A and B are shown apart, each in its own frame.
Chain A
Amino acid sequence: MKKIININFHGRVIPIEETAYEILKQYVESLRVYFAKEEGKDEIINDIESRFAELFSERLKKDATCITDEDVNAIIVSMGRPEDFEQDEFAQSGAAEPRTSQTGQQSASSEPTESRRLFRSENDKILGGVCGGLANYLRIDPAIVRILFALISFGGFGAGVLIYIIMWIAVPSRNLATNIRKRLYRNPETKVIAGVASGLAAYFHIAVWIPRLLFALPLILGIITSIFRNTWFGFDPGPVFITGGFGGTLFITYVILWIVLPEAQSASEKLEMRGEKVDLESIKNTIKGDLDGFKGRAKEMGDEIRDRAQQFGAEVKKASQQFATEAGPAVRRGSSGFAHAIGVLFKAFFLFIAGIIVFALIMALISLLFSGVGFLPFRYYLLSGFWQNLLAWLVLLLFICIPILGVITWLVRRIMGVRSRSNYLGIIFGGLWTIGLISLVIFVATMVNNFRTRASVEDDLPLAQPLGNTLVVREALGKISYEGSDWFGINWGHDAPFFGLNQDSVMMSTVRINVVRSLDSSYHLRRVRFSRGGDPNYAKMLAGQIQFEPLQHDSILSLPQGFAITPGQKWRNQQVLVIVDIPVGKRIYIDRSVDDYQWFDINLNERRRGWNMDWNQNQDYSWSSGVMYVMTEDGLKSLDRNNRENEEDQPQTRSDNRYRYQAPADSGKSRPSGRPEKLKRQPAESKPAVPKKQADSTAPPSASRRMEIDPVESYGSPIYILSA
């Protein structure tokens, strides 16, 4: 029981046994080889095929249902095989006259003594056939010549282009036949992108994945290491040459090879690609191997409808390829044209762009993954309830990890050349990722819900009036620090709104100080504690739980470094606002140590259109730290003559302190003695001079006795170091 296929043979549909078709194909291929150098070979082969078709029709008319092996063989016998032609054929030298005078053919392999001339190749050309002709003359692979030309053109500032154009004009063209046994082709059978790696593998007789890996690996390594190099500053795996430059060079090499190398489509080309002898036996085996391989793959695919459709598509592709090879060299060589080169460039460019987009997406996901993992210590404070925890884990695993896994799997498979036969993996990945996506949406919704409302608790705190006329506000000394709480080796103390984190508590430093004019003539202190929460009562309760108690020693108000939040309370953006009322004429000095406070807030715009994050660090305040102010009718006024507050932005490093304080010490500010008394008696007058009360015995006793810790008294002294 044999399989029958229908072929369209010279305008007729002929039902023919598959095996008979194979025999016919081999025969035609052998003819093609035999007549390769013949001028009118297309016509000859066409005539022979026509004869076959006629004989087929006769057979079918005689009540045969299809053409069998025997029929084909019989016709071949009567037609004669190419090896038999030798017997009948004209001797080459005898009747060569009518041929050479008309066609001027060049058959180098059979007439080695004939002097060779350089021609341009008519049939093996991409632009003008210069390289093809040169390669034919030198008997080397045209690909080598093309690559050399490309190198010379790029490296010699276009010298190669000039040479090419000169040769194009000067050298005549002929139809040149292949005269090398082995040349580099692209192999379309096992191709992933363009078959360059497969062709190389076939040429050198090595496994397919070796050149593929060679091309892909430096590129991938380069990308990965460049990521790591940018995120972790201490990471340096080696010179960039290996991973960075090399990968780029190989990519360009791949594109060049893609343009330059033709695809091996016909059986004889495939044999040339491997460097095997092109004769009838090997052609027969190649075609047979093709067909067998196709049949084998067809069997593996099974009976699913989708697979049958794939099969059909592949058959169509194969049939069209066969048609292309049999219809004539014009179609085959069409792939070597100039249009091909342009087409390749476009394809490579689009592939490149697509690759970059996919890559950027994957990198975004990976970075999400890392940041997600990095936030793990926070989960006690952020997530409440079983569901939120579960959702968070689902999001992490499914939404973020799955696409990364999927892409890595796909990459590895393509490199290894494994063909996936079923879409199970794709469906599973897709389904899990969708679950992750849904989880993400729900997760974000619940999280936002937790922060919905904001409540505050305001208290008036007792404040004793400072005996001097200035109030100093500063952060309490003695920093609390958590052992082992550095996060990824980075000390977050100065940059984040918290400065300590462990499983029991996190120390928040979202504190802010506002200075306003007092309504009466005394200092006041108020404290407002904020918190967010799912509903107002809960928020209010959380706000009330904030522990933040300022301490006062005479004229120094010490604020705690921060306040602690426990996992039970959860972090709901708790904040503390300290409002200090200053009566007119009195002073306030806010020490630089309060710069450690980092206010953090998310609030909606006035028009409720968007939200902005408020990371201000004392920049928007009406005051600057480290400056002495006096309250006037119009607001705070700086007493600093140097106008240091204008240029003084947020001091990022503490080491500047000492250096800054030297400046006013050295600049000669007039310091009239005896002024201090005046200050007290005329409080409304703003003094231009910064009073320096360095060991001034006329200073009020109560204030000066605190000289060693009173920042105002020792203002400007080099001994003065407040914060580490």
Chain B
Amino acid sequence: MNIENTQSQMRKGILEFCILSIIRRGEAYPSDIVEEMKAANLHILEGTLYPLLTRLKNADMLTYRWVESNSGPPRKYFSLTAKGLDFYKELEATWNELANAVNALAHRTKEMGGPAN
């Protein structure tokens, strides 16, 4: 078993949720999203982000608007739609359940039968 594979699988599972969390707080621009995630110690490549954002947009979870800028081409600013907000809330509930379950399993070492680890 490859440790990196498993690790990336774990990351992949929560990526959408993290991105939606960031955007929920306010309109965000892809570069900003990457910065925030880096600040939260969750590193993601920009090249991963763009396809994801596009997929979410195609699924009507996100919407965007163009903002002109002096120092470059126009930028896309993403925001959550109503559908996206519902989706986010469900994910949040799932995350909480998951987090509790995993924490409980991982820290409960003595209550099962068998040799202690």
Assess whether A58 is in contact with B59, with CB atoms less than 8 Å apart: no
* Residue B90 is within 8 A (CB to CB) of chain A in the complex: no
Chain B contact residues: helix, strand, loop or mixed: helix
Cβ-closest chain B residue relative to A49: B73
* Known contacts A11-B73, A99-B55: A91-B45 contact under CB 8 Å: no
Assess whether B55 is in contact with A51, with CB atoms less than 8 Å apart: no
Name B48's contact: one of A12, A35, A85 (CB within 8 Å).
A85
Could you tell me the distance in whole angstroms from the C-beta of B102 to the nearest C-beta in chain A?
A: 18
* Residue A647 is within 8 A (CB to CB) of chain B in the complex: no
Assess whether A85 is in contact with B47, with CB atoms less than 8 Å apart: yes
* Residue B109 is within 8 A (CB to CB) of chain A in the complex: no
Assess whether B12 is in contact with A90, with CB atoms less than 8 Å apart: yes
* Residues of B with C-beta under 8 A to A79: 45-47
Cβ-closest chain B residue relative to A39: B58
B44-68 interface mask toward A, CB cutoff 8 Å, 1 = contact, 0 = none? Answer: 1111101111111111010000000
* Residue B31 is within 8 A (CB to CB) of chain A in the complex: yes
Assess whether A95 is in contact with B71, with CB atoms less than 8 Å apart: no
Cβ-closest chain A residue relative to B87: A98
Within 8 A of B (CB), among A289-342: none
Within 8 A of A (CB), among B14-67: 15-16, 30-31, 44-48, 50-59, 61
CA distance A99 to B52 in the complex (A): 11
Assess whether B9 is in contact with A91, with CB atoms less than 8 Å apart: yes
Name A95's contact: one of B9, B16, B30, B73 (CB within 8 Å).
B16
* Residues of A with C-beta under 8 A to B44: 88
* Residues of B with C-beta under 8 A to A51: 30-31, 46, 50
* Residue B75 is within 8 A (CB to CB) of chain A in the complex: yes
Assess whether A44 is in contact with B45, with CB atoms less than 8 Å apart: no
* Residue A374 is within 8 A (CB to CB) of chain B in the complex: no
* Residue A87 is within 8 A (CB to CB) of chain B in the complex: yes
* Known contacts A54-B72, A88-B11: A80-B48 contact under CB 8 Å: yes
* Residues of B with C-beta under 8 A to A91: 9, 12
Assess whether B16 is in contact with A78, with CB atoms less than 8 Å apart: no
Cβ-closest chain B residue relative to A27: B47
* Residue B8 is within 8 A (CB to CB) of chain A in the complex: yes
Could you tell me the distance in whole angstroms from the C-beta of A177 to the nearest C-beta in chain B?
A: 16
Cβ-closest chain A residue relative to B74: A50
* Residues of B with C-beta under 8 A to A248: none
Could you tell me the distance in whole angstroms from the C-beta of A688 to the nearest C-beta in chain B?
A: 113
* Known contacts A51-B31, A58-B71, A78-B45: A38-B51 contact under CB 8 Å: yes
Q: Which of B16, B44, B46, B57 gathers most chain A CB within 10 Å?
A: B46
Could you tell me the distance in whole angstroms from the C-beta of A610 to the nearest C-beta in chain B?
A: 77
CA distance A81 to B47 in the complex (A): 7
CA distance A48 to B34 in the complex (A): 14
* Residues of A with C-beta under 8 A to B8: 87-88
Assess whether A98 is in contact with B59, with CB atoms less than 8 Å apart: yes
Assess whether A44 is in contact with B50, with CB atoms less than 8 Å apart: yes
Name A47's contact: one of B15, B50, B71 (CB within 8 Å).
B50
Assess whether B55 is in contact with A10, with CB atoms less than 8 Å apart: no
* Residues of A with C-beta under 8 A to B51: 35, 38, 40, 44, 85, 89
Cβ-closest chain B residue relative to A78: B46
* Known contacts A78-B46, A88-B8: A54-B59 contact under CB 8 Å: no
CA distance A84 to B44 in the complex (A): 10
* Beyond A47-B76, A95-B55, 9 extra complex contacts between A and B, CB < 8 Å: A35-B51, A40-B55, A40-B57, A44-B54, A51-B30, A84-B47, A85-B48, A89-B12, A103-B58
Between A and B, 11 residue pairs with Cβ closer than 8 Å are A11-B73, A35-B51, A40-B54, A43-B54, A44-B51, A50-B75, A54-B73, A80-B45, A88-B12, A88-B45, A94-B12
The 4 A-B residue pairs whose C-beta atoms are closest, nearest first, are: A80-B45, A54-B72, A80-B47, A88-B48
